Every structure is written in C-alpha cells, then in structure tokens.
C-alpha cells in the first residue's frame, strides 16, 4: 500500500468540519475522507463535495451527529448514507460496506468494518482512495495512486464483474475517462463496456440522462464519446444518434474553444442527433429531459441556417442562447465570427408600435390592424430592428398603403 500525505486544501478548513469529524471518531481508524475529494486534492483540482467513510452504523452516525448539534438527514440510510448539514455545508457520510447481491441496477449491502473490503466494492481505483483527516495519510488499496499519476482509468478487479453489478458504471467509465484519462486506454475495460452495453436498457432513463449530461458538460468529451460510438454504447438507448455525431461534436467543441464560448448542453446534445425535430423530441421524452430542454431542442432545430443577416432575427424569435447555439451548430465556418459579434452585447428589442397607434393614424379597428402590425414587424426585422422613429415611419407608410388598398377595392 502506497504511503502519501494529502496536501492541505481550503476545503479541509471549512467551518464545522472539525466538529463533524470529532463526532464520528471510531475504533476502526475512522472517519476518513474518501473518493473525489481525495482524488481531486491530489490532482490540485477544486473540491466541491466531500464524502466521509466511517465504520459506525448509520443509526449510530445519526445519534453522534445529533449529540454534537449537527443536523442529520437519512438520505440513503438503507445503503448506509447519512447527510450531515453543518455550517451551511452538506457532507455525505457512508458506513463501510460490502456487496451481498447485485442485479445490475442496485446492490444489497452489508455493513462492514474492513476498509479494504469497502474499497473493493467501488468502481475505479482512482475513486477508492481514503485519507485520514488528522494525519493526512492516504490509504490506497488497489494502486489507484499509480493510475492517477499515469492518467489511467482502471476498474477494481474484473471489469465485466464490476459492470454487471451496476451497468451505469459503463457511462461512468467514459465520464471519468474524459476527465482523468490521457494515458494508455485499458482495452479490457473498453471491451467489458461494449459487452455490457445491452444492460443499459435495465437502467432508469433518468440515471442514463444524468450520466450522459455529466459527460457532455465536461470540457472536452469528444474522445470518450467517439469511443462510446465505436463500441456501440449508445445503441441501446439512443438510436437517433447521427452517423456524423463524433465529427459534429468535435466541430462544436473546437468552435467553443476558438471563439471562447461556454459549453451549451442543448447544443452538445443536438450535435449527437440527426437534425430532425421529431427525432430530437423522442430523445427528450425517452430520457425524460426537462420541458425547458425539450422546448430548446425544438427552437434550435427550427432556426434557419444562421448568417450575419438573419442571426438577430433568430434571437428575436427565440432567445440569444438559441441563436448562439444555432450559430455554433449550423453556421458555415466563415459566418461564425460575425454572427457571434452581432449577438454580443445585443439586447433583444421590442416593437414599440401598437394597434392603438395605427388606429390613431387613421386605420379602422378590425382584423386589418393585426395584419398591418405583422407587416410592420416583418419589415422592422428585415431592416435589423431600427429605432422608434423608423418604426413610426413604417407605421405611417403601411397604414397609408393599407388605406389606399381599401379605397381601390371599394
């Protein structure tokens, strides 16, 4: 077992954390930090969530926390997880466990006091790192530190078995590969993911959507997504995958970097799909995406191919984000810079002319008012949203033309 000290980091000095750790002191070498907080601190990355492992049983954890005046929330008590809320932060505390039975979706666990036994049920070696809060000593039972240094993602034990325990680990594998990979790819792990992809159909669509979202919102998921495509990972749950998905996602990510644009989840989703509103809507329904996301797919797919001449019109009819995503996805290379420039620091204007003003100019009340307003709006958009003075000119011109048309028809 490799010996190493956890570097000091700001999260270790959070208000209330020492009090929490004191409440969980046990006779089995705990509590210990575990998982992402340890991994990311070793890599010098920011830490947002801190998980704590303990040999204490869940009810004892709750009793200890309450005795110290710390709020205890039994978020997953049947699996040994209690959330502690202290000083405005939440910490997940999980009792050491070993798997008794698994069915590919969930595990039946028994509580344990053996740290290596707990580590053995985790997915990847780099996620099975523990650290003592007092001494900083890092406990590494499966050579995760070497894998972390080599940027190598490796399942603990047999990859096929780990995946059969929970098929979501297939998607987690590609997410962590995108985040921490870069070294030699584990061919056995990729083959195990491909062999087990059929098991993704057993998972809830919410779990799949959540994990796919996490993959797509990473800085650069292209290599992982390409591996997923080539190994049939999407086949069980995303038949609408475009034949050019890998190329389209690469182009989108490269454009984001080139033009300093933030990653857009709707755009990255759509980069994977055929440009078909019905197909995209089926995907949103199947994965139970939010109504906002579902509507956003439709807005982006209905947009014309963006050019410098129509990009503001696209934004006007939808919103700035929709227009920007349409540019990033569908505009030709030469038009992207000017399209983005025309959206930058531009607020969507409002047509100031109302029906009452047309009537005041001389138009009789009735259906012709609405029709004329639509014509004014169309010309206003075509002229790139001129100011109120020009809008007034358009109103007078079109009212006069409409009235002249009425006279001629009579």
pTM of the entire structure? 0.86
* pLDDT for 384 beyond 60: yes
Strands 32-34 and 97-102: unpaired
Q: 353-369 pLDDT, tens per residue?
A: 999 999 999 989 989 99
Going by the DSSP 8-state scheme, the letter that residue 53 receives in this structure is E
In DSSP terms, 84 is beta-bridged to 72, 91
Would you say 242 and 274 are in contact if contact means Cβ atoms under 8 Å apart?
yes
Distances (CA, A) of 289 to 41, 76, 209, 258, 410: 33, 24, 7, 29, 56
| Poorest-pLDDT segment among 60-69, 71-80, 165-174 | 71-80
DSSP sequence for 290-309 = -HHHHHHHHHHHHSPPP-TT
List alpha helices for 106-235, DSSP H.
115-120, 144-150, 159-165, 168-180, 187-196, 205-216, 222-230
What is the C-alpha to C-alpha distance for residues 213 and 205, in angstroms, rounded to an integer?
A: 12
CA dihedral for 189, 195, 197, 200, sign (positive or negative): negative
Give residue 104's pLDDT band: very low, low, confident or very high (50, 70, 90).
Answer: very low
Give residue 259's pLDDT band: very low, low, confident or very high (50, 70, 90).
Answer: very high
Closest CA to 41 of 4, 6, 1: 6
Structure tokens at 278: 């019905």
């Amino acid at each position: 077992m490799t010996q190493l000290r956890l570097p000091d980091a700001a999260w270790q000095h959070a208000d209330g954390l020492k009090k929490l750790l004191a409440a969980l002191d046990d006779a089995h070498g705990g509590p210990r930090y575990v998982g992402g907080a340890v991994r990311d601190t070793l890599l010098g990355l920011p830490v947002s969530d801190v998980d704590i492992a303990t040999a204490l049983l869940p009810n004892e954890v709750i009793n200890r926390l309450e005795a110290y005046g710390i709020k205890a929330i039994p978020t997953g008590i049947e699996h040994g997880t209690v959330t502690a809320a202290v000083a405005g932060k939440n910490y997940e505390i999980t009792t050491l466990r070993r798997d008794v039975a698994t069915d590919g979706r969930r595990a039946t666990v028994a509580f344990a006091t053996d740290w290596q036994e707990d580590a053995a049920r985790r997915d990847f070696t780099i996620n099975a790192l523990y650290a003592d809060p007092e001494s900083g000593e890092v406990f590494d039972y499966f050579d995760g530190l070497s894998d972390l240094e080599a940027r190598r993602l490796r399942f603990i034990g047999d990859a096929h078995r780990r995946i059969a325990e929970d098929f979501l680990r297939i998607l987690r594998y590609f997410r962590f590969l995108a985040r921490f990979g870069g070294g030699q790819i584990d061919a056995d792990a990729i083959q195990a993911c491909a062999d087990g992809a059929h098991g993704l159909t057993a998972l809830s669509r919410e779990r799949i959507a959540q994990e796919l979202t996490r993959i797509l919102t990473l800085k650069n998921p292209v290599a992982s997504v390409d591996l997923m495509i080539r190994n049939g990972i999407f086949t069980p749950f995303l038949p609408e995958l475009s034949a050019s998905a890998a190329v389209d996602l690469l182009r989108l990510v490269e454009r984001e970097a080139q033009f300093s644009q933030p990653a857009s989840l709707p755009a990255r989703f759509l980069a994977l799909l055929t440009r078909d509103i019905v197909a995209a809507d089926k995907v949103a329904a199947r994965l139970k995406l939010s109504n906002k996301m579902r509507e956003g797919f439709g807005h982006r797919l209905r947009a014309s191919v963006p050019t410098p001449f129509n990009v503001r019109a696209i934004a006007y009819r939808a919103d700035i984000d929709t227009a920007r995503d349409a540019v990033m996805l569908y505009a030709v290379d030469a038009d992207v810079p000017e399209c983005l420039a025309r959206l930058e620091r531009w607020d969507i204007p409002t047509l100031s002319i109302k029906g009452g003003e047309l009537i005041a100019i001389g138009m009789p009340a009735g259906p012709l008012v609405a029709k004329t307003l639509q014509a004014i709006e169309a010309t206003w958009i075509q002229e790139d949203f001129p100011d109120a003075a020009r809008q007034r000119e358009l109103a007078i011109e079109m009212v006069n033309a409409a009235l002249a048309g009425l006279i001629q028809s009579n």
